Amino acid sequence: MTPAVCFDAVVKRYGSREVLSGLAFEIQHREIVGLLGRSGIGKTTLLKLVAGLEKPTRGKVRVQARRIGYVFQEPRLLPWKTTLENVTLPLRAAGLRLNEAVERATRLLAAMGLSEFLQSYPSQLSGGMCQRVSLARAFTVGPDILLLDEPFSSLDIEMKNELQAMLVERLAVQPATVLYVSHAPEEVRQIADRLLTLTAAGTLVEASLQNTPRPDGKPERSGVRASCSA
């Protein structure tokens, strides 16, 4: 089967600075991959290449997905839109009728525990609640690939654990290929099939899951797959 994501000898430069150096790896459909590495090392650049927001300087990025969901470290909600409006916005942009968009968004927000806040504005919500809205917005489009760019790093440990549990529950209902960026291994190893670390040299190395039990009971996977179908 063609992988969901394939990097084929990908190099990414900004001027004379080489951020990614000859990356070659695959992510299989519905695989959950944690991407680790220190801040500023190029993890977000890798996500942008998957999303098509950036182009490689050299090499090829192949993505098999009809829809991609993206959750950022900051919720990035429109401050003049209500919770419901922020989540219906991508559905309306995709061509759904208003009543269909509202129904789907309302259902997702209820699953995130936000039924009482549909008409609230971002300024009226806590940081954790705003990030729940952001998660709902990403899932409402039915993503084949979900990109998470340190989505819980600004939250306290209790809220981080709560949202992590919500993410796991949602993925059980809406399975997706996940690329989860973090600089904290403990944040992703509980749900990841594999952990990859982006090094200062712009290359990837396999990181250990340390036999951590997965809450969903799925078997662990390993190995950086470096062969891509043409």
Is residue 228 predicted with pLDDT exceeding 60? no
Which tops the pLDDT comparison, 11 or 157?
Answer: 11
Neighbours of 147 (CB within 10 A): 27
- Amino acid 156: pLDDT: 83
Our CA angle for 22, 24, 25, nearest 5°, is 150
Q: Average pLDDT, whole number, for the chain?
A: 88
Which tops the pLDDT comparison, 218 or 115?
Answer: 115
For the segment 1-5, the average pLDDT, to the nearest whole number, is 90
- Amino acid 210: pLDDT: 61
pLDDT band at residue 155, thresholds of 50, 70 and 90?
A: confident
Is residue 128 predicted with pLDDT exceeding 70? yes
Model pLDDT for residues 11-43, shown as the tens digit of each residue: 999 999 999 999 999 999 999 999 998 888 899
For the segment 57-81, the average pLDDT, to the nearest whole number, is 94
- Amino acid 29: pLDDT: 95
Pairing of β 204-207 and β 194-198: antiparallel
Burial call 38-65: b when 16+ CB within 10 Å, e when fewer: eeebbbbbbbbbbbeebebeebebbbeb
Is residue 214 predicted with pLDDT exceeding 90? no
Model pLDDT for residues 162-190, shown as the tens digit of each residue: 888 889 999 999 999 999 998 878 888 88
- Amino acid 49: pLDDT: 97
- Amino acid 182: pLDDT: 87
For the segment 37-51, the average pLDDT, to the nearest whole number, is 92
* Rounded Cα distance, 208 and 189, in Å: 9
Is residue 54 predicted with pLDDT exceeding 50? yes
- Amino acid 213: pLDDT: 43
Which tops the pLDDT comparison, 158 or 58?
Answer: 58
For the segment 78-106, the average pLDDT, to the nearest whole number, is 95
* Rounded Cα distance, 121 and 30, in Å: 33
Domains delineated in the chain: 1-66+144-230 (3.40.50.300), 77-142 (no CATH)
